[in-house]
Chain A
Amino acid sequence: MPLNAYLIVGALLFTIGAAGVLVRRNPLVMFMSIELMLNAVNLSFMAFAHFLDSVDGWMFVFLVLTVAAAEVVVGLAIIVAIFRTRREIDVDELNTLKG
């Protein structure tokens, strides 16, 4: 398959993830949409690594994976802490931090 086929699949996945962040009100599902976007970019990196014959794409995927793991750990801890104090996690209701 040509490089562009992989890039187009990555573009579609990224778009779906971005749409998910916009429409969903559950922060857990918003997190999943962010994971979708990260993985779409990972697919592009892997496709470029293969078609440019360079190992750098693999390294970037590895680093993105670590950052995603750290982000999930801290984000889920924040969501659980919010749920403990307010018993609800609707994003529209969490507006006490606005300036």
Chain B
Amino acid sequence: MTAQQLAFFVLAFVAVASALGVILFRNAVYSMLSLIVNLLSLALFFLSLQAIFVATIQVLIYAGAVMVLFLFVVTMLAPEADTNVSGSDRLRWQWVATAGLAVILAGGLILAVANGAVAQDAKAAGPNSLAAQVTKVGNVQAFGLALFHGFSFPFEVTSVLLVIAVMGAVVLSRRFSGRERE
């Protein structure tokens, strides 16, 4: 139990520190690497919540595929993008105002969490509960059963969304040769 608590606090510290690194590093590549550390620490959080499959896709898809795409664009654009130090004094009062707003937002959220309580009848029980399904058929199978039975329509809509995103990226990133013809 103590080891579990220690792991939680270390993970929470790493997650918050790397999140701060994302917004505080001047170089966008360092922000990027800090974000990858944050995503990996969240994957470890998911593991500690016994969600093996979701932790795996968090590492594979998010920290892997999406972040590699991000890193390509950042290394392509960043060297010129973040070298202007002249904007720092213009942003000074905005940093102060944002710190104040962030304290208010975090305080409000934590107050809401501390005052709220989960109703006891909100917990699933019996053969439909997550723990029962995981012990019966396993972690990945429980995920797949829920995805293809209860959530099959959102899953299909997801495929349409991904096709639209791919087509949008292709259209946006091709060079417009029509303008040269004019």
Contacts and interface: CB of A to CB of B under 8 A. Distances in A.
Do the two chains bind? yes
Contact of A8 (B20, B58, B110, B118): B110
B170 to A, nearest CB: 8
Contact of B125 (A26, A53, A56, A77): A53
A6 B166 contact: no
A46 B46 contact: yes
B73 A28 contact: yes
Contacts of A14: 105, 109
Chain B, interface size category, equals 35 or more
A52 B122 CA distance: 7
B70 A32 contact: yes
Contacts of A76: 69-70, 73, 169
Interface residues of A, number: 71
A6 B133 CA distance: 23
29 contacts: A1-B4, A3-B118, A5-B8, A11-B109, A12-B16, A19-B99, A22-B98, A23-B98, A25-B87, A26-B78, A28-B73, A29-B22, A32-B22, A32-B31, A43-B42, A46-B51, A50-B49, A50-B50, A50-B51, A53-B125, A54-B129, A58-B54, A62-B54, A70-B165, A73-B166, A77-B172, A80-B173, A81-B173, A92-B87
Interface of A: 1, 3-9, 11-20, 22-26, 28-29, 31-33, 35-36, 39, 42-43, 46-47, 49-56, 58-59, 61-63, 65-74, 76-81, 83-84, 87-90, 92
